[in-house]
Amino acid sequence: MATSNSQIGASHAPIQVSFPLPKAPATNIHLQLTNNGPNLVVFLTTSTAESASSAPMGSLIYAMPNKVTPAETLSTPLFTHGSTLDFTTRLSKVLARKIGKPVYVGNSSSFASAGMGGTVEEEMEGFKRVVEVVIGLLKEKK
């Protein structure tokens, strides 16, 4: 279950949620979502009960739907960090395609503390969960 904290009545107020990784309940994904009308801004990070240190900035990607060829979403990195670049790029493209408007995605999440140490399966489960939560929050706010 995602827990939420938002400012009610504020225009374009960010929505903050936290939810556990599907296969690693001790690791939480923290998500901040801001719907600015013409674009969407999403920031992600992960934390565990044991981690007291802050995560590096991660990657920031801008993606926008391609009106001519919808299957080919356009994206460009604004800031890159090697370990988060692929995940952030894929997430920004999927969100831009599903939502139909430009998206900024900042991501400093790490799946290394997940149950099996951050395997591809764990990363994909986290990816799917993030997309579900973002789409759900946007539908809820309509």
**For the chain, domain boundaries:** 14-140
- Stronger pLDDT, 57 or 50, i.e. the higher one: 57
| E-assigned strand segments in 9-102 | 15-21, 24-35, 40-48, 59-64, 74-79
Give the pair of three-digit tokens for residue 17.
């949620």
pLDDT band at 6 (very low <50, low <70, confident <90, very high): very low
Q: Average pLDDT of 51-78?
A: 89
Asked if the model's pLDDT at residue 7 lies above 50, the reply is no
pLDDT band of 79, cuts 50, 70, 90: very high
Q: What is the pLDDT of residue 61?
A: 98
Non-local (6+) Cβ contacts of 50 within 8 A are 113
CA separation for the pair 12, 18 (Å, rounded): 19
Mean pLDDT of 97-102: 96
Q: How confident is the model at residue 22 (pLDDT cuts 50, 70, 90)?
A: confident
Q: What percent of the chain has pLDDT over 70?
A: 84
By DSSP bridging, strand 103-107 and strand 40-48 are parallel
Give the number of other CB atoms < 10 A from CB of residue 38: 7
Please provide the CATH number assigned to the domain covering 14-140: 3.30.230.100
Give the per-residue pLDDT at 51: 65
pLDDT (0 to 100) of residue 9: 36
